[in-house]
Amino acid sequence: MSFDVERIRKEFPVLDQEIHGKPLAFLDSAASSQKPRAVIDAISALYSRDYANIHRGVYELSQRATRAFEASREKTRRFIGAAEAKEIVFVRGTTEAINLVAQSFGRENVGEGDEILITHMEHHSNIVPWQMLCREKGAVLRVAPIDDRGALDMEAFASLLSDRTRIVAVSHVSNALGTVNPVEEIVRLSHERGVPVLLDGAQAVPHQRVDVAALDCDFYAFSSHKLFGPSGIGVLYGKKELLEAMPPWQGGGEMILSVTFEDTVYNEIPHKFEAGTPDIGGVVGFGAALDWVEEVGYDAIHAHEQELLEYGTEALLSVPGVRIIGTAPGKAAVLSFVMDDAHPHDIGTILDGEGVAVRTGHHCAQPVMARFGVPATARASLAVYNNQRDLDALVRGLHKVREVLT
C-alpha cells in the first residue's frame, strides 16, 4: 500500500488547527516532534488506571506501573538492537545521557593531557560536557573539521585520533545541517586504536533505524521528545561491561542495594544510574511512541521524508536570495537556510503570521554558525506527518518575507 500522509496526520490532534487564521504548517520537528494519539492515550491510561511509584511497592498498582515501565525498557532494547535490557538507562534526554558519560566514564578514564575528540558540527550538549571535563582534568578537546557542504572531513578525523584520545563523541545526524555522519567508519577507526565511541543519536532515531549492535558503538544517546514521545525522557545505551565498570554519578534512592552511614552498596545496572523516582508516565508514553514508529515503519518514514526533502529543497531554491546551509550528500530532512537582507528572526516572525512554524537562531550549534559565517539560520525540519502543503506554505511565506523586508 502506498504511503498515506493524510492518514498519519489524523493521528496528530495538534496538527488540526489554525494559527493566526492560517492552517498550521509545523516545520520544527528537529527541535521537538508532535505526539500521536497513541502516545497521549498511553500516558492518560497509566495515570487513569495503573499509576503508583515503581519497583518498591508490593501492591497491585505499583506492580502494574513497574511492569509498564520495564516493558518500555525492553521495547527500547529491541528498538535499537541492544543485547540486554540492562544496557538501557533511562535519563532526562540526550543532554543528560552525555553528561552522565562525561561525568562517570570521563572522570574515571580521562586525565591530564588526554584528549577527547568531537566534530565541528556538534550540538552544544555534545561540546560543553566534554569542555567541563577537560577543564576539570586538564585534558584537551580536539575538533574534527567539516567541509563547505557540512560533511565531516574523515581524513582529518582519522589524523586527530591519537594515543591520548580517551573517547570520541560524535553526532550521528547533525541538527543544524542534517548531515548524516559515517558512524560505522568512525567506530571502526576509533576501535582500531582502542578508543570508545559515544554517538549522539538525537537527530538520527526520528529518521532511520538504528542498530547499536551493528554499529558496535559503546554509548548511544537519544531523546524521546524528538521521536514522537513525551519530553523529559531519554535513553543512554551503554555496553554492559562499560556501564558495569562506571561509577554512579547521582546518589539517592533506587540506585542502592544497602545504605549505612559508613558505606553504601550500589545497585546493579541500569538502576545504579537511575537515582530517584523517574518520569514513569514519560517512560510509558515513550514505549507507546516506539510501538507507533514500528507500526509506521522506518522504510515508509525515510522514503516519505526524502521525497519531501527533495521537493522542499527545490521549492526553497526557487525563492530569490535563499541559500541553503548544509548540503552534504545523503543528508536527513533538515533545511537550514539564510536569505539576503532578512534576519532569520524576522523570517521566523513573519512566517509565524502565516501559520508556519520554523526554528530560527543558532540551533545550539554556534560553532557551526561560525564555520559558515552566519549568526543564525532559519530551519525547516521535517517529520513523517509533514506534507507538500506545509512546504508550499513555507515558500509562500518566504515570498511575503521578501515583500516586507527586501
Measured distance CA(366)–CA(251) in Å, rounded: 33
Which residue type occupies 341? Answer: D
Q: Which stretch binds ligand PMP (CB under 6 A): 61-69, 90-98, 330-338, 352-360?
A: 90-98
Output the smallest distance, CB 200 to ligand PMP, in A.
Answer: 5
Q: Is 179 in the site for ligand PMP (CB under 6 A)?
A: no
Report how many residues bind ligand PMP under the rule CB under 6 A. Answer: 15
Nearest to 378 by CA among 393, 400, 399, 363: 363
Output the smallest distance, CB 23 to ligand PMP, in A.
Answer: 26
Output the smallest distance, CB 123 to ligand PMP, in A.
Answer: 4
Measured distance CA(240)–CA(219) in Å, rounded: 10
Nearest to 93 by CA among 39, 174, 136, 32: 32
Residue 114 or 228 having the CB closest to ligand PMP: 228
Q: Is 171 in the site for ligand PMP (CB under 6 A)?
A: yes
Output the smallest distance, CB 340 to ligand PMP, in A.
Answer: 27
Residue 97 or 195 having the CB closest to ligand PMP: 97
Binding to ligand PMP (CB under 6 A): which residues in 209-248?
A: 223, 225, 234
In sequence order, the 6+-apart residues with CB closer than 8 A to the CB of 283 are 69, 72, 73, 90, 233
| Active site annotation includes 364 | yes
Q: Is 165 in the site for ligand PMP (CB under 6 A)?
A: no
Q: What is the dihedral of CA 142, 198, 274, 45, to 10 degrees?
A: 130
Measured distance CA(101)–CA(345) in Å, rounded: 35
Residue 334 or 401 having the CB closest to ligand PMP: 334
Residue 290 or 350 having the CB closest to ligand PMP: 290
Q: Is 94 in the site for ligand PMP (CB under 6 A)?
A: yes
Measured distance CA(308)–CA(86) in Å, rounded: 38
Residue 175 or 386 having the CB closest to ligand PMP: 175
Binding to ligand PMP (CB under 6 A): which residues in 111-130?
A: 123, 125-126
Output the smallest distance, CB 220 to ligand PMP, in A.
Answer: 12
Grid coordinates representing 253? 534512592
Q: How far is CA 181 from CA 121, 151, 169, 370, in A?
A: 10, 7, 12, 20
Q: Which helix (H) or strand (E) holds 281?
A: helix 280-296
Residue 43 or 65 having the CB closest to ligand PMP: 43
Q: Is 95 in the site for ligand PMP (CB under 6 A)?
A: yes
Residue 34 or 175 having the CB closest to ligand PMP: 175
Nearest to 271 by CA among 61, 73, 35: 73
- Could you say which of 33, 175, 181, 360 contacts ligand PMP (CB under 6 A)? 175
Looking at 319, 364, 374, 395, which residue is catalytic? 364
Measured distance CA(371)–CA(142) in Å, rounded: 16
Q: Which stretch binds ligand PMP (CB under 6 A): 134-142, 200-208, 254-262, 372-380?
A: 200-208
Q: Is 377 in the site for ligand PMP (CB under 6 A)?
A: no
Measured distance CA(222)–CA(235) in Å, rounded: 5
Nearest to 2 by CA among 389, 307, 209: 307
Q: Which helix (H) or strand (E) holds 108?
A: helix 107-109
- Could you say which of 11, 200, 305, 354 contacts ligand PMP (CB under 6 A)? 200
Output the smallest distance, CB 101 to ligand PMP, in A.
Answer: 13
Which residue numbers are catalytic? 364
Binding site for ligand PMP (CB under 6 A): 93-95, 123, 125-126, 171, 175, 200, 202-203, 223, 225, 234, 364
